[in-house]
Amino acid sequence: MRQFIWRGTIVLFCAFILSFQLNNVRAGGWPLAPGTGELITTVTRMRANERTEDKVDLTTGKVSPYRYRKTEISSYLELGLFDSLTAIGELAHTKERSELIVGTFENNGISRLKAGFRYSIGTWEDILFSVQPLVTLHLEDINENPVAIHNGDMDAELAFVLARSDEIFGLDTFSVQEVGWSFRDSGRPDEFRADVTFGIKPRPGTMFLLKSLNAAAIEALPNEKVYRANKLAFSVVQALPKESMPGASIEAGIERLIDGEGTIEETAYRIGLWYRF
């Protein structure tokens, strides 16, 4: 058990170090100018037909049938307050359905509310350093969450953000690295995450995003299992014509679990609308 925890932590740490070693990158984690903002509304459709660990029906000795579907609509807001301070907020609505051998379970409603800020500390070697505290209030029980989230649970995360940008072969590129620790109540284990976002702009108005999303529970769950998830995501963001929708862009992307333990083998498809004001 302890070896698995350390293995997951080492994987996350190596992903972070690799991203930091790349010189030709720039980040999108800068503070917004006071009075300006960005609103991103996304619709995500997730599906899974198996778990990372098979569930065996003790009465038959066979693997239990499993089917999971989730649709989530979320609105993420960043608003510039001061030169170095950006407010952050998020509201999400979730509809999910789990079909198991013991029955079908469904949820439908506002699932979480998140608030916090990002404060820019300063720049060193063309890298912008920021701290980002966030508080998340969970508003519904989540069926297929490995850390057993329930209505009323709260997470308090402190993240360290590194951001840098550059130009490669005449193309604008950027990178954002976030390393965070979530403190959780209700007896749930704390979580460590290390996320890396690489971006490139092949032409004005078009942006490609590649993300490595990594998270792990710091200790075993109440059921003695360890949670770890390593995901990859890719999306395309395209600006809409300024004449019709100034400041607006559309996003289309996919996210996939590539390795993990104590979670589900999920694939998620995402479409979104970005609006800068």
Task: Give me the residue spans of the domains in the chain.
Answer: 2-276
**Of 159, 160, 76, nearest in space to 113 by CA:** 76
Burial 236-245 (b: 16+ CB within 10 A, else e): ebebbeeeee
**CATH classification (class only), 2-276:** mainly beta
- Cα–Cα distance list, 25 to 39, 125, 206, 208 (Å): 24, 12, 17, 13
Phi, psi (degrees; rounded to nearest 5) at 187: 75, 5
pTM value > 0.75: yes
Low-confidence ranges of the chain (pLDDT < 70): 1-28, 50-65, 101-102, 142-148, 221-224
pLDDT confidence of residue 20: 40
**Of 30, 13, 29, 33, nearest in space to 21 by CA:** 13
Name the burial class of residue 76, with classes exposed (0-12), middle (13-18) and buried (19+) by CB atoms within 10 angstroms of its CB.
Answer: middle
Cα separation, 136 vs 151, whole angstroms:
12
pLDDT confidence of residue 146: 61
pLDDT confidence of residue 254: 98
Q: DSSP for 19-82?
A: HHH-SS---S-PPPPTT-EEEEEEEEEEEEEEESSPPB-TTT-SBPP-EEEEEEEEEEEEEEEE
- The H or E element containing residue 197 is strand 191-203
Cα separation, 277 vs 270, whole angstroms:
23
**153 by DSSP, 3-state: which?**
coil
On average, the pLDDT of the chain sits at 84
